[in-house]
Amino acid sequence: MTALPLARSVPRAPTPPTPGRAPGVYFAGVVPFPSARARPQPARTPPAATPLPAGRDAEQAFLRALLAHAGLRLGEYRASALLRRIPACLRRLRVDSLDTASRRLADRPALAGQLLDIVLLGVTEFCRDPAVFAHLRTQVLPPLARHPGAPRIWSAACSEGQELYSVAACLAELDLLERCELLGTDCRPEAIARARAGEYALEAAAKPPALWQRPHLLPAAGRARIHPRLRTAVTWRVADLLAAVERGPWDLILCRNVAIYLEPPVAAGLWRRLASQLAPGGFLVTGKTENPLPSAPLERAGPCLYRLRPTP
């Protein structure tokens, strides 16, 4: 009997893993053991495909339209600082989307004033930062009595006016109020209207020291009203600080917590323009985290206080 020749084995390519079949050697081939490199990786969404840019564009468009109501330009402000205020705007409008907020603002432009208060953080208070006001009262304001003319004081971006009224109260106690020219400006008409009225919630009025309250804050139907002597001594005006500064010379300028929301070149330019309107030896009051040096020819003179550097 003739033996049949053995068939030559032909190598077969490994087959891919079969679902439900353990790895190993089988008649039909080899089911390879899984490899870490061979594991499928989850697909990653390219950055350009994420919805963030479109949403951010929508947020900037909303802010641009809102600021336009006050004649302001978004490009001058630090967008990151303003964007953080958008959720608060939606809560104030009681809406859950920018589209709805934009439509409501377009239908009711009067809402812009409330939203600008939120976005621009128009917050101030009486005798803000006691250390600053103590220095003003003891070191800066008394020498104004020796001023040959009428001392001039400007509160830029004054919000609802509590800070300038605090300065007016200090001047009244020094018997200098009627000699001084006091001006408060803000880009928001609603804020200026409230400053001119000089009426505040009792909660806001409860913050000043008791000695400050008695002579200068009067009760008025559940609110607190500034004494007429102070109200008649102050002039209020709607003005955009970034468009133009008030013509000096000013003996004292208060500009607090504005520059922190501006792009650095814009803030530096603002410090220089304010310094250019100071009288010789005049003072600038800033916010706690604001530093106009070396943007302007100023020297530090106290907490949050800078003095115009004398020219050589």
End-of-domain residue from the set 71, 91, 119: 119
Residue at token pair 């007429």:
228
**Residue 208: its pLDDT value, please?**
66
217/78 same-domain check: no
284/143 same-domain check: yes
218/189 same-domain check: yes
169/293 same-domain check: yes
Residue at token pair 């115009």:
308
Q: Which domain holds residue 180?
A: 130-308
173/114 same-domain check: no
78/161 same-domain check: no
**Residue 121: its pLDDT value, please?**
74
**Residue 152: its pLDDT value, please?**
97
Contact of 292 with 278, CB cutoff 8 Å = no
240/190 same-domain check: yes
Q: Name residue 284's beta-bridge partners.
A: 253, 306
Contact of 234 with 164, CB cutoff 8 Å = yes
Residue among 145, 236, 149, 230 at smallest CA distance from 190: 236
Whichever domain contains 189, its CATH number is: 3.40.50.150
Residues of the chain with confidence (pLDDT) below 70: 1-55, 122-123, 205-213
**Residue 70: its pLDDT value, please?**
78
185/219 same-domain check: yes
Domain count, the chain: 2
**Residue 73: its pLDDT value, please?**
86
115/149 same-domain check: no
Residue 29 lies in a domain: no
Helices (H), the chain: 52-68, 79-83, 86-93, 98-107, 112-119, 130-135, 162-173, 189-197, 202-205, 210-216, 228-231, 264-276
**Residue 255: its pLDDT value, please?**
96
End-of-domain residue from the set 65, 96, 119: 119
User: What is the C-alpha separation between 123 and 231, in angstroms, rounded?
Assistant: 20
